[in-house]
Structures are given as structure tokens and as C-alpha cells.
Amino acid sequence: RKEVEQDPGPFNVPEGATVAFNCTYSNSASQSFFWYRQDCRKEPKLLMSVYSSGNEDGRFTAQLNRASQYISLLIRDSKLSDSATYLCVVNLSYNTDKLIFGTGTRLQVFP
């Protein structure tokens, strides 16, 4: 089983739609969780950290369920510029900066 699993997609949605991505992780000892965004042929960029209580940043909402080892990302009012691959990322320990990446979910927003 992969350490971090995501549906690869692609998710094709119209502008203005709401779309949700899910992610599961296998190591129950994982401590920190993130969503990164990666554009084609570019490096990943941090979109947001994911906190236990859930957190929101504009149109983006992240949720964490430690009991189910499940992370989600909700994007409201999708924009064309949201088209990218969204990577679910897990850090196993507070004592290390090593990150484990999911395979990513591809989002394509169309006009």
C-alpha cells in the first residue's frame, strides 16, 4: 500500500464549480499534512497546511480526519487558473522535515 494515496483524476470541471479531492495516508504516526499545487513542468508550491480543526483560505478548505487517516481539499468557485495537479503531502514526524508526496490529483477547469 502506498504511504499517501490520491485519486489521480483528471477532474474536469466548469468554471464556478465546487470540487473536492481526497487523500488517505497509511502511517498513523504522521504529524503534519499539507496540500501542494504543481503546475506542469514546475516545482510544487505550498497551497496550505492542514490542521486538525480544519482550515480555510479563501476559496480553499482543508479537512483532516486522523481517525480515518483521511485528508480533503475543497475548492469553491473554481477558476481557470486553478487548473493544476494537487499533491497531498505528509510529514511523518516533528523531528524531521522529510515529506511524503501523494501521486497528485489533476484538475482541469474549463470555461
Partner 1 sequence: GAVVSQHPSWVICKSGTSVKIECRSLDFQATTMFWYRQFPKQSLMLMATSNEGSKATYEQGVEKDKFLINHASLTLSTLTVTSAHPEDSSFYICSAPANARGFHNEQFFGPGTRLTVL
> Residues in the chain, how many?
111
Which residue carries 497509511 as its cell? 26
Query: Measured from the CB of residue 14, what is the shortest distance to partner 1 in angstroms?
Result: 24
Query: Measured from the CB of residue 83, what is the shortest distance to partner 1 in angstroms?
Result: 16
95 binds partner 1 (CB under 8 A): yes
104 binds partner 1 (CB under 8 A): yes
55 binds partner 1 (CB under 8 A): no
23 and 86 in contact (C-beta within 8 Å)? no
Which residue carries 480555510 as its cell? 56
Q: Which residue type is seen at 76? A: R
Please name the residues in contact with 10: beta carbons below 8 A apart, sequence gap of 6 or more. 106, 107, 108
43 binds partner 1 (CB under 8 A): yes
32 binds partner 1 (CB under 8 A): yes
Which residue in 16, 18, 39, 42 binds partner 1 (CB under 8 A)? Answer: 42
Q: What 8-state DSSP symbol labels residue 80?
A: G
Task: Give the other-Cβ count within 10 Å of 48's Cβ.
Answer: 18
22 binds partner 1 (CB under 8 A): no
Number of residues that bind partner 1 (CB under 8 A): 22
Please give the residue ranges that form the binding site for partner 1 (CB under 8 A): 8, 31-32, 41-46, 87, 91, 94-104
